[in-house]
């Protein structure tokens, strides 16, 4: 199936693009928002900032979540370059088709390719957070696109097996009674119960968010998640995979990421530093940066420090490309 991806992209790019009147690809991006119409429905996007530096495109996690958590980070980084975010089809401010066959990794990769081409991003830096890291890595590996100047994989999901191995290790650090509630409900198929939900929050309070007082941007009120997509593709919780991504694994292709690549993780991330170090070893020349006061949601928990880390890397890549 993978080798046919390029054949499918043409159909995506054929779709109409709703843009701000002042947009002109040749002249560079300007701040605006709009929709890219793709098979299945409209995908909402927003451009932060402007300038001549190579744009950064951020792909959010989930599946089924939205890009709103990146607003503070995008606002800071867009002081130097355009930053593009988008809500994947079915989530946030994008269209919500009823066709559940749309919710798979291959379509998500084609969606990224279509949006990039529609916005005229001949050269681009790509950043993927969590499931977004899956999309970015899969896009580069399967489509081998030109013009990807660098890749940032933030707390990435690159192998479901390794993710669950990490999750099981992190679960073993929870109180014994919480572990028992999780185990019992998963075995009984009662993962919708109140006690399972409460036990899940204990895990999330340690490894999803490390800082208890973090608040989502107000824009998230207009960008609700779609938990149906999350359940279909992933499962009921971050640490229990039952969906169609249960066999997902792009690690055999990581060596194809020949462009500058940076991993960024929170110290208390669900994507454990030890596992990310293994991914780093698969990509010659790649680097790892750690945000010391964050969990998995480091782009929101430490967006100011994240912006510095990100922009330092992007500037260095831009500088090298100009030589």
pLDDT digit string (tens) for the chain, length 323 residues: 444 444 444 444 434 344 433 333 334 689 999 999 887 899 999 999 987 899 999 999 999 999 999 999 999 999 989 999 999 999 999 999 999 999 999 999 999 999 999 999 999 999 999 999 999 999 999 999 999 999 999 999 999 999 999 999 999 999 999 999 999 999 999 999 999 999 999 999 999 999 888 889 999 999 999 999 999 999 999 999 999 999 999 999 999 999 999 999 999 999 999 999 999 999 999 999 999 999 999 999 999 999 999 999 999 999 888 76
Catalytic residues: 130, 269, 296
Residue 82: which of 58, 60, 61 has the closest Cα? 58
- CA 305/CA 237 separation, integer angstroms: 28
Residue 139 vs residues 143, 155, 194, 233: alpha-carbon distances, Å: 6, 17, 38, 18
Going by the DSSP 8-state scheme, the letter that residue 247 receives in this structure is T
Which tokens hold the place of 163?
A: 């993710």
Residue 289 confidence (pLDDT) = 98
Task: Quote the pLDDT of residue 213.
Answer: 87
The span from the CA of 268 to the CA of 214, in Å, is 15
State the pLDDT at residue 27: 40
Q: What's the pLDDT at 323?
A: 66
**pTM summary value:** 0.90
pLDDT value at position 20? 39
Q: DSSP readout, 273-292?
A: HHHHHHHHHHSTT-EEEEET
Q: What is the pLDDT of residue 110?
A: 95
Q: Are the C-beta atoms of residues 182 and 170 closer than 8 Å to each other? A: no
Q: Which domains does the chain have, with CATH numbers?
A: 2-172+215-318 (3.40.50.1820)
CB 280 within 8 A of CB 251: no
Residue 320: its pLDDT value, please? Answer: 87
Whole-number pLDDT of residue 28 = 65
The answer for 142, left when phi > 0, alpha when psi is -120 to 50, beta otherwise, is alpha
């Amino acid at each position: 199936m993978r080798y046919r991806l390029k054949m499918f992209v043409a159909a995506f790019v054929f779709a109409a693009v709703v843009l701000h009147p002042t947009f002109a690809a040749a002249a560079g991006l300007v701040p605006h928002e709009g929709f890219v119409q793709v098979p299945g429905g409209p995908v909402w996007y927003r451009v932060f900032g402007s300038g001549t530096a190579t744009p950064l495109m951020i792909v959010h996690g989930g599946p089924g979540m939205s890009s709103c958590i990146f607003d503070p980070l995008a606002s800071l980084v867009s002081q130097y370059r355009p930053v593009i975010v988008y809500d994947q089809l079915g989530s946030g401010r994008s269209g919500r088709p009823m066709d559940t066959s749309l919710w798979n990794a291959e379509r998500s990769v084609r969606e990224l390719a279509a949006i990039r081409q529609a916005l005229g991003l001949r050269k681009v830096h790509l950043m993927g957070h969590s499931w977004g890291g899956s999309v970015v890595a899969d896009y580069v590996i399967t489509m081998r696109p030109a013009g990807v100047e660098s890749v940032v994989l933030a707390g990435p999901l690159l192998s479901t097996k390794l993710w669950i191995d990490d999750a099981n290790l992190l679960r073993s650090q929870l109180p014994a009674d919480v572990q028992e509630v999780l185990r019992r409900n998963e075995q009984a198929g009662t993962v919708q119960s109140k006690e399972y939900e409460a036990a899940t929050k204990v895990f999330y309070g340690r490894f999803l968010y490390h800082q208890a007082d973090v608040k989502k941007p107000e824009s998230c009120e207009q960008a609700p998640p779609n938990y149906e997509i999350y359940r279909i593709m992933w499962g009921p919780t971050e640490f229990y995979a039952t969906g169609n991504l249960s066999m997902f694994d792009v690690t055999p292709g990581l060596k194809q990421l020949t462009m500058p690549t940076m991993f960024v993780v929170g110290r208390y991330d669900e994507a454990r530093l030890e596992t990310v170090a293994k991914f780093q070893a698969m990509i010659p020349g790649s680097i790892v940066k750690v945000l010391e006061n964050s969990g998995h949601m480091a782009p929101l928990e430490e967006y100011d420090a994240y912006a510095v880390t990100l922009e330092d890397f992007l500037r260095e890549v831009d500088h090298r490309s100009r030589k």
